[in-house]
Amino acid sequence: MTTHAVESLFPRLEPLLSEVSKPVQYIGGEQNAVVKDWDAVQVRWCLMYPDAYEIGQPNQGVAILYEVLNEIDWILAERSYAVWPDLEAKLREHGIPQFTLETHRPVGAFDLLGFSLSTELGYTNLLNALDLAGIPLHSAERTEEHPIVLVGGHAAFNPEPLADFIDAAVLGDGEEASLRIADIVREWKAEGRPGGRDEVLLRLAATGGVYVPRFYDVDYLEDGRIRRVAPNRSGVPFRVTKHTLMDLNAWPYPKQPLVPLAETVHERYSVEIFRGCTRGCRFCQAGMITRPVRERSIETIGSMVEQGLRATGLEEVGLLSLSSADHTEIGEVAKQLADRYEDEFVSLSLPSTRVDAFNIDLANELSRNGRRSGLTFAPEGGSERMRRVINKTVDEDDLIRTVATAYKSGWRQVKLYFMCGLPTETDEDVLAIADLAKRVIDTGRAETGTRDIRCTVSIGGFVPKPHTPFQWAGQLDVETTDARLQKLKDAIRADKKYARAIGFRYHDGKPGLIEGLLSRGDRRVGRVIEAVWRDGGRFDGWSEHFSFDRWITCATRELAEFGIDTDWYTTRERDYDEVLPWDHLDSGLDREWLWEDWQDALDEIEVDDCRWTPCFDCGVCQQLDTEIQIGPTGKTLLPIPQVRPDLG
Ligand code: SF4
């Protein structure tokens, strides 16, 4: 952590940019970017998304924290993204470190370096960024000169594979947590940094909401399983709790997000309409770890959209959440937004939709001002039996009724998402996807009287995740996954009547297996990540950069001394008594409840959404001493009238 003036690296960087691809992504200066006086603040955060700008720039978590932190006069926050291999080579050649976009200052000069982790396949990029920044890879080797390296985001709910490389992990919502952390660092600096790096980490750990791996020891059993994880310092809690922002209306961020300069995956103003999900899909880590449900009010949504569009000039609004159609006032939100922006070229989108007729009304409303391109539904499991196991309560007849309404309303393209490799799955469960897709096409043709109907089937490999009922499940091996997907492809292609109408998208099982290794890994997996990175591993989330052979070779070599391997972490089913690497990290969910839900899955028993039924005692609301927060409020979106440019 440096206190003296830190110069911009841009004069050294600029001559190199003409020699690399998409140089605009490294320039910064986007609309709404914040540049603060380095010397006028007391705490400096660098927020890093360890993937390319085009993926990281739209990330909602980073956008929120960027504004929350920069609104405080004694804090500055800048951003950094992973550099592509062509620029990495140039930076190494010229001795230029990893930099931020706002002022092109070296990342290593900040007080705090916070990584937002959406996917485990970004871990090698995290290591690469540390190395490029000149920050020692291992936290034990860092001194007071180096930033405190933190991780947050969904993948941080099991940060154990990164334990050697990070100083701390924060579980849950970051708005209040990032400010609290800044406060602790400010105090410690103002006091003259007593006790050095260890002391500030101890102060963070003592809050009970910041996990500092170095203050916990892990003991192993002879057979490789964990015996126990326990604190090695006094004042450090046995369990670290997640942060939950209870009043979303009090934190209406982002208010004026950055407008990307280079092309990114999403170019729209996104407003999160609620946080959390109580549907209870057993594979869904996001739904489980973000409980309880907290809705943003219709009025706040309205004013955020109004302000966000004005601040950015963007022409698309995304209504974000894990299951947006579940907002109790979504019908009103959609209708009133569509009314308000009727005469402007503002389109609305709802990224995730439930399968029922109501959603077609909603989709029609949302597409009123824009294109009617494709509708996406996620039954996830091909057969009714499979959907009972995963607790995705979608009835096939309901789905067919819904698509019939969609095709009748003018939609020509339906996308269906599924997973392969779910617990208890057989070939028949996956082949049922082909039958379902054919029924969808038949329905579309019957409803419209035309053959010009398409259905795209998209399949991802299932990866068991921590803090879900499937955390104990064995992952399906690559060979069986690929063979099953091939059978499904053959079944779809075999029937000429449908072959051209059904699109088929899938990934092979290899990246999913490595994601599985990292998701449920423990500290020993850190050696594998480091070995892969040293061997050149970067951008593992990109198929053109991912090397399965490299991962397997490194894992086999690095794990051999422990008598375990990749299969041990992935395809092995765990039992109730096994200590899981993340058991000391508290997502709010009761372990007993998770286990019972796992048993219910094996017995094909479904559980309702607790929003509409009595509580199932998952533990979250009890621990927070709260209840789920839902409407309806009966309020209207905005007091602002409809926009009519023709009337001035
Ligand atoms: S504690 Fe009860 S009401 Fe709250 S999220 Fe869990 S099951 Fe739902």
| Nearest atom, ligand 1, residue 620 CA | 1
Question: What does the pLDDT read at residue 161?
Answer: 98
Maximum Cα interatomic distance, the chain, rounded to a whole number of Å: 78
Q: How far is the CA of 615 from the centre of ligand 1 (A)?
A: 5
User: What is residue 350's three-state secondary structure?
Assistant: coil
Q: How confident is the model at residue 60 (pLDDT cuts 50, 70, 90)?
A: very high
CA 30 – CA 28 distance, rounded (Å): 6
CA of 293 to the centre of ligand 1 (A): 9
Q: Which residues pair with 575 in a beta bridge?
A: none
Amino acid identity of residue 330, one-letter, is I
288 plus 201 within the same structural domain: no
- Residue 38 has a pLDDT of 97
* Confidence category of residue 232, pLDDT binned at 50, 70, 90: very high
The string of pLDDT tens digits covering residues 544-571 is: 999 999 999 999 999 999 999 999 999 9
Q: Which helix (H) or strand (E) holds 598?
A: helix 591-602
Angle between helices 357-366 and 330-340 (to 10 degrees): 20
What is the residue-averaged pLDDT of the chain?
92
- Identify the CA nearest to 184 among candidates 71, 314, 301, 45: 45
> Which ligand 1 atom lies nearest to the CA of residue 619?
1
Note down the domain range covering 369: 268-524+564-624
Q: How many domains does the chain have?
A: 2
Instruction: Tell me, yes or no, whether 262 lies in a domain.
Output: no
How does pLDDT run across 83-141, given as a tens digit for each residue?
999 999 999 999 999 999 999 999 999 999 999 999 999 999 999 999 999 999 999 99
Å from CA of 623 to ligand 1 middle: 10
Task: Tell me whether residue 340 is in a domain.
Answer: yes
**Looking at residue 273, what is its pLDDT?**
95
Share of the chain above pLDDT 70, in %: 94
For residue 15, the one-letter residue type is P
pLDDT tens digit string along 29-43?
Answer: 999 999 999 999 999
Sequence-distant (6+) residues with CB within 8 A of 290 are: 172, 275, 276, 277, 322
Express each pLDDT in 64-94 by its tens digit: 999 999 999 999 999 999 999 999 999 999 9
- Nearest CA to 46 among 22, 65, 27, 21? 65
Identify the band that residue 20 occupies on the pLDDT scale cut at 50, 70 and 90.
very high
One domain, residues 234 and 304: no
Query: CA 396 to CA 382: how far, in whole Å?
Result: 9
- The answer as to whether 247 is a domain residue is no
pLDDT confidence tier of residue 399, bands split at 50, 70 and 90: confident
**Structural domain contains residue 644:** no
Same domain, residue pair 150 and 204: yes
Could you read off the pLDDT of 451-479 as tens digits, one per residue?
A: 888 999 999 999 999 999 999 999 999 99
What pLDDT does 369 receive? 64
Question: Are residue 439 and residue 585 in the same domain, yes or no?
Answer: yes
Tokens 């790096």 found at: 197
Is residue 246 one of the residues assigned to a domain?
A: no
Q: What is the Å distance from ligand 1's center to 589 Cα?
A: 9
User: Do the Cβ atoms of 281 and 392 come closer than 8 Å?
Assistant: yes
What are the start-end ranges of the H helices in 391-507? 396-408, 427-448, 478-494, 496-499
In contact, 321 and 330? CB cutoff 8 Å: no
For residue 619, the CA-to-ligand 1 centroid distance in Å is 7
Q: Are residues 237 and 272 in the same domain?
A: no
Supply the CATH number for residue 117's domain. 3.40.50.280
Measured distance CA(147)–CA(443) in Å, rounded: 58
CB 454 within 8 A of CB 412: yes
pLDDT(645) > 60: no
Residues 166 and 101 grouped into a single domain: yes
Classify residue 4: in a domain, yes or no.
no
Atom in ligand 1 nearest the alpha carbon of residue 618: 6
* 22, 262 contact by CB (below 8 A): yes
Interatomic CA distance for residues 78 and 81, integer angstroms = 11
Nearest-atom index, ligand 1, CA of 292: 5
Sheet with 374-380: strands ordered across: 374-380, 413-420, 454-461, 502-506
Token duo for residue 452: 């010009």
Shared-domain flag, residues 490 and 352: yes
Is the pLDDT at 646 greater than 60? The verdict is: no
So what's the pLDDT on residue 3?
47
Residues 236 and 273 in one domain: no
Statement: residue 647 has pLDDT above 60: no
Same domain, 286 and 227: no
Ligand 1, atom 1: closest residue by C-alpha = 621
Percentage of residues in the chain having pLDDT higher than 90: 76
Q: Whose CA is nearest to atom 5 of ligand 1?
A: 292
Judge if 606 and 491 occupy the same domain.
Answer: yes
CA 388 to ligand 1 center in whole angstroms: 20
Question: Using 50, 70 and 90 to split pLDDT, how confident is the model at 351?
Answer: low
Establish if 359 belongs to a structural domain. Answer: yes
Q: Which amino acid is at 520?
A: R
299, 227: one domain: no
pLDDT band at 372 (very low <50, low <70, confident <90, very high): low
Instruction: Tell whether 377 and 301 lie within a shared domain.
Output: yes
Q: Which atom of ligand 1 is nearest to the CA of 615?
A: 2
The pTM for the full model equals 0.94
Give per-residue pLDDT as tens, 139-198: 999 999 999 999 999 999 999 999 999 999 999 999 999 999 999 999 999 999 999 999
State the CATH number of the domain containing residue 278.
3.80.30.20
Domain assignment present for 596:
yes
